[in-house]
Structure 1
Amino acid sequence: MARPEKVRLGELLVQQKLITEEQLKLALEEQKRSGRKLGRVLIDSAYVTEEAISRALAKQLSIPYIDLKYYEFSPQFTQLLPETQARRFRALVMEDRRTALLVAVVDPTDLFAYDEMTRLLKRSIELAVVTESQLLANIDRIYRRTDEISGLAKELGAELGDTPVDFGELISITPGLEEAPVVKLLQSVFEDAVQVRASDIHIEPQERNLRIRFRIDGVLHVQTEADHKIASALVLRLKLMSGLDISEKRLPQDGRFNVKIRNNPVDVRISTMPTQYGESVVMRLLSQATGLLSLTKLGMPQRVLERLRHAVHRPTGMVLVTGPTGSGKTTTLYAALNEVNTPEKKIITVEDPVEYRLPGINQVQVHE
């Protein structure tokens, strides 16, 4: 398939008599004000349906429109694209047509997504148009463990009941510990977070419920919401795992522990903070299985890579790396250290905390 052409959606919908010029004008004004995509503004304003937009794009580009209600995805193909990329590009790999992979997309005019998927999949791709709601529903079903986690949360809530429970006794029993609902729930949360490459897990008690969120590519996404009464059991279990003081609930605490996900070690940094509805927990996940990337694998444009390499090889100076949480600051700095780490050099780092162990480098942990 040839690289798709850029289409002006508003003009296309007017040409196909799906919306009027006046509706387009009002939608463009709202788009400018809110910053939302034009298609979403038109749908939310009830000027046109999601399916009508998808069919119009498919017709204009001479590519198929597919109703996902009647399509069964195969894990053999969907797993070719990690969930983070599937959500980012609003895409799912459907099948292998020998000469190319068929990929379902919401926006077939997104040239950046087309180029990136071609690069990531290392294959030619053909596009089919689908609606965003159907695509996201299938991404949730294919990649996530939401139903499993929600079910385990309900199981834990049922076990705790409405009467006071000795949580320490509940959690510290050794025989069959791995079958305890709180243990199975946390394990599923960790496995799901690692699968979607989340950098952080947030466990947040609210007034009426407990919210668990993942930070993926710097953006927080709600994983599940559960009964508020399981919050204390989860926090207590995590405190026991990280060696924190389980009796201290009025002051913030920091700790660290390890979990195994599919036999791969994952370091977890944990911070607790008292809130008006209970203790909130934030966990940073540091998977040792993925290994450290080299600078060439970070996806930088060649000119940026060359400038960074020149900077890190200089004998004096400073390199500042900034960005929001989960954007890759630590990954970039460790990749830079790997770049200059040779037997002829002595390297000392000062870190808070040490996130990855680098052979041959003297890493100093800061203690306040």
Structure 2
Amino acid sequence: LLESIARYSNRAVEPVVAQKSQILGIIVEFHGFRRSMRAAEKEYQTDLPDLGNLEQLYEMGNESIDAGAQPVVRAVWYLITYALDQGASDIHLEPKRDEALVRMRIDGILHTVHRLPRLVYPALVSRVKTLARLDIAERRRPQDGRFKTAHGETEVEMRVSTVPVAFGEKVVVRVFDPGVLTQDIERLGLFPRELAMFRGMLANRSGMMLVVGPTGSGKTTTLYSALHHVHSPRINVVTLEDPIENVHPAFNQIAMQPRIGLTFGTSLRTVLRQDPDVIMV
């Protein structure tokens, strides 16, 4: 059977073991998204503007598909659900000359999960911008917003960032799942020796710890998990964030507001007079 599938599909077949519910879930999410894209493409067939030069780039606004179209709404829902099920930290929507890509960062690596018709891409972007309460008519300037969605019994925050690129607007949706951001340090994936060192650092009553790494490497997850590990009713935990990644009832979290002079520098001086035990910047 595997040889026949490989011969007819002209692709290598690798057998894996999975539960029936997982297989059905992937089928619904993957093919449901494809069906939504095909339906949107058929419903809004029209001549596309030439994107050969940037002068015509921002004239696409008049040709965009209605973001409220049902297939597009379903497509965005499929994307978000798939990203949450796969544990993705970021969703990238990227316009190209002849198509658009949907990529997701899973375990620190970007994977291309869908290739979209260029025709429906503006509507997909408009739908995401609508959810994040961004100005869908503004395509020339970067915008930032956020929205929340439910995944099971967990409320997940999505942070949206848009930026104009050569062939349209690029959108990145960062996924902030509280269940992932705040977890036991044993689940961070550290080797036993590194975990013991990390525990020792967190047990110190004084000192400074630097958490560094590239995008998607787990800096935020490591910091929140460390704070979750050390916090107790006996200590005062203060965080300085821009913006607040995840609201935690046990922390005193301060969001930076440079417009009114609330910066990291001024906040740090103030926090030092607030009798802190732990400060996270």
Sort the TM-score into its range (normalised by shorter chain): 0.7 to 0.9
Report the TM-score, using the length of structure 1 for normalisation: 0.58
| Pair 1:241-2:125 in alignment | no
Q: How does 1:91-170 map to 2 (within 5 A)?
A: 133-135=12-14, 142=23, 143=26, 145-162=29-46, 167=65, 170=66
Deviation of residue 289 (structure 1)? 4.7
Report the TM-score, using the length of structure 2 for normalisation: 0.74
Deviation of residue 137 (structure 1)? 9.0
Deviation of residue 328 (structure 1)? 1.6
Q: 2:189 maps to what in 1?
A: 299
Answer yes or no: is the 8 Å Cα contact 2:238–2:251 preserved in 1: yes
- 2:97 partner letter: E
Answer yes or no: is the 8 Å Cα contact 1:205–1:280 preserved in 2: yes
Give the structure with higher Rg (CA): 1
Match of 2:176 among 282, 286, 300: 286
Q: Does the residue aligned with 2:121 lie in a helix, a strand or coil?
A: helix
Match of 1:257 among 147, 151, 167: 147
For residues 17 and 44 of structure 2, what CA distance do their matches in structure 1 show?
Answer: 33
Q: 2:56 maps to what in 1?
A: none
Deviation of residue 365 (structure 1)? 1.6
| Pair 1:328-2:212 in alignment | no
Deviation of residue 357 (structure 1)? 1.9
For residues 253 and 73 of structure 2, what CA distance do their matches in structure 1 show?
Answer: 33
Which has the bigger relative contact order, CA under 8 A and spacing at least 6? Answer: 2
Q: Does the residue aligned with 1:133 lie in a helix, a strand or coil?
A: coil
For residues 150 and 354 of structure 1, what CA distance do their matches in structure 2 show?
Answer: 35
- 2:41 partner letter: G
Q: 2:96 maps to what in 1?
A: 206
**Residues 186/268 of structure 1: CA separation in 2 closer, same or farther (3 Å cut):** same
**Residues 360/322 of structure 1: CA separation in 2 closer, same or farther (3 Å cut):** same
Q: Does the residue aligned with 1:269 lie in a helix, a strand or coil?
A: strand
Q: Deviations over 1:49-84 (max 9, x none)?
A: xxxxxxxxxxxxxxxxxx74589xxxxxxxxxxxxx
Q: 1:121 maps to what in 2?
A: none
Q: Calculate the aligned-residue CA RMSD, in Å.
A: 2.7
- 1:245 partner letter: D
For residues 136 and 208 of structure 1, what CA distance do their matches in structure 2 show?
Answer: 34
| Pair 1:226-2:226 in alignment | no
The number of residues matched between the two structures is 233
Q: Deviations over 1:282-324 (max 9, x none)?
A: 0111123557211122232232222222222323322111222
**Residues 157/222 of structure 1: CA separation in 2 closer, same or farther (3 Å cut):** same
Q: How does 1:67-82 map to 2 (within 5 A)?
A: 68=2
Q: 2:75 maps to what in 1?
A: 185
Deviation of residue 165 (structure 1)? 5.4
Answer yes or no: is the 8 Å Cα contact 1:266–1:285 preserved in 2: yes
Answer yes or no: is the 8 Å Cα contact 1:190–1:261 preserved in 2: no
Report percent identity of matched pairs.
Answer: 34
**Residues 289/308 of structure 1: CA separation in 2 closer, same or farther (3 Å cut):** closer
Q: Which runs of 5+ in 1 are unaligned?
A: 1-66, 72-131
Q: Deviations over 1:79-121 (max 9, x none)?
A: xxxxxxxxxxxxxxxxxxxxxxxxxxxxxxxxxxxxxxxxxxx
Q: Does the residue aligned with 2:80 lie in a helix, a strand or coil?
A: helix
Q: Does the residue aligned with 1:306 lie in a helix, a strand or coil?
A: helix
For residues 202 and 248 of structure 2, what CA distance do their matches in structure 1 show?
Answer: 17
Structure 1 window deviating more from structure 2 (268-277 vs 320-329): it is: 320-329
**Residues 333/212 of structure 1: CA separation in 2 closer, same or farther (3 Å cut):** same
| Pair 1:195-2:85 in alignment | yes
Q: Which runs of 5+ in 2 are unaligned?
A: 6-10, 48-61, 259-281
**Residues 148/367 of structure 1: CA separation in 2 closer, same or farther (3 Å cut):** same
| Pair 1:315-2:205 in alignment | yes
